[in-house]
Amino acid sequence: MKGVGDIRLVNVLELASRKEVEQAAITYWKKHKVILKEEVLQQRASELVMVAYDDNNKVIATSTGAKTKVKLLNNNWLYQYRCFIDPNFRVIGFDYHLTQQSLDALEAAGQKDADNPIGVFTVIENAGLYNNKVNNAAVWRAYKMYFIGFNTKGQPIRVYYFKGALI
């Protein structure tokens, strides 16, 4: 793979049939020991948003969005965003494209959801993403994600609000 242009992103939320993609994601997560418990694997697969493939049609990244009522944000519904990129495919810009496409897909899904989710939140589990000046900024400008505090493990929490969101 030479760069981001060699990556194919698939919006799983738009697929008529998800079973094959979900199974490929589960295999990918097991291979990388991202998720090990079977019940968690099945649940997370049902929350897939985007799956990225290399030029050999192998899964190299996934993102998920679990609709969650967030007490910290006035009990509003938001999607909890997670992503994992194969370490061998962490090229500059890939994380941005995966996340931006995921945010767009979740915002489109939210417009059709009766619970009216107001945005996306994420817990930053990768310590490499909160140990420098750029990633510690109050706003991640590339995504318009705002720092809103820490969880009980001391990991930063960020939120992205959909257009027109009312808190």
Split at pLDDT 50, 70, 90, the class of 136 is confident
Q: Write down the pTM of the prediction.
A: 0.92
Question: What's the pLDDT tens digit per position in 15-43?
Answer: 999 999 999 999 999 999 999 999 999 99
**CA–CA gap between residue 160 and residue 103 (Å, rounded):** 8
Q: In 1-128, which ranges are continuous DSSP H helix?
A: 19-31, 38-46, 94-111
Split at pLDDT 50, 70, 90, the class of 70 is very high
Amino acid at the residue 59: V
**CA–CA gap between residue 113 and residue 116 (Å, rounded):** 5
Q: Which residue has the higher pLDDT, 10 or 129?
A: 10
pLDDT of 158 reads: 93
Whether residue 59 has pLDDT greater than 80: yes
